Amino acid sequence: MAVERRPYRREAEDKRRAALITATLALVSEGGSAAATVRAIAERAGVTPGLIRHYFTNKEALLADAYRQLMVGMTEDSAAVLTYAPSDPHARLAAFIAASLRPPVVDGEAVVRWASFIQETRRNPAMLDIHHQTYLGFRDHLQGLIAALPHPREAAELRHLAIACNAVIDGLWLEGSTLPHAFVPDELVTIGVRSIGAMLGVDLSYYLLLSEPPKT
């Protein structure tokens, strides 16, 4: 009596790897790092557990790839708002800040994903490297927006301002994501734009309104 074997389709390597990474991130979002077991990932991706070790040397390598994709995607999402933002540098900065402090960037699942992987950066140098690269990527982006303002600044001051503005965004993102009910809608956007404006010596509130997409 022949055992009945689960039917399957052969897929391109890219598709399979992407599906496994997507499944990993989804499980981490829902249940933290503990939920991302090889069996759960495989089930979510619609394959059997053994396949994971066919595409990744081990689970750690899968997690590293997932982390990179997560962080690169987050930076791309932040940069996306600038595509259609006004050309005025004040408005562009305000739009960038606002986008970083609203859903979908501010999100409870996002902070769980982020926290899950941050744990790994201490013992895994590759993970720390991903963290470092993506952090600098975001901060450099912000620094570029600050440098575009009509206000001459020295390089050292620019660096300090970028670190500080990045910290404001990170801190507000963190608080809004972990305590969604502690703030009224767009309260963090108001605080973020106002605070960063004060640090830079400009009032961005007007430009925030300017950069808002028209309400339907």
Which residues contact DNA by CB under 7 A?
2-11, 13, 16, 36-40, 46-54, 58-60
Cβ proximity to a second copy: between 201 and 213 the closer is: 201
> Helix 89-100 to helix 125-147 angle, to the nearest 10 degrees?
150
CB atoms < 10 A from the CB of 182, how many?
10
User: Contact between 186 and a second copy (CB under 8 A)?
Assistant: no
User: Contact between 190 and a second copy (CB under 8 A)?
Assistant: yes
4: tokens are 């009945």
Cis preceding-peptide flag for 104 (omega within 30 of 0): yes
User: Contact between 169 and a second copy (CB under 8 A)?
Assistant: yes
Question: First CA to last CA across the chain, in angstroms?
Answer: 64
Using CB distances below 5 to 8 A depending on partner kind, what does residue 110 bind out of a second copy, DNA, none?
none
CA dihedral 83, 88, 94, 100 (to 10 degrees): 20
Q: Which amino acid is at 206?
A: Y
Give the whole-angstrom CA distance, residue 169 versus residue 175.
Answer: 10
Q: Are 89 and 150 in contact (CB under 8 A)?
A: yes
Cβ proximity to a second copy: between 85 and 200 the closer is: 200
Measured CA angle at 57 (ends 52, 59), to 5 deg: 60
Give me the least distance between CB of 24 and a second copy, in Å please.
15
Give me the least distance between CB of 61 and DNA, in Å please.
9
Using CB distances below 5 to 8 A depending on partner kind, what does residue 120 bind out of a second copy, DNA, none?
a second copy
User: Contact between 89 and a second copy (CB under 8 A)?
Assistant: no
* The one segment of 19-27, 142-150, 162-170, 202-210 that binds a second copy by CB under 8 A: 162-170
Binding site for a second copy (CB under 8 A): 31-34, 108-109, 111-112, 115-116, 118-123, 131-132, 135-136, 160, 163-164, 166-172, 174-175, 178-179, 182-183, 188, 190-192, 194-195, 198-199, 201
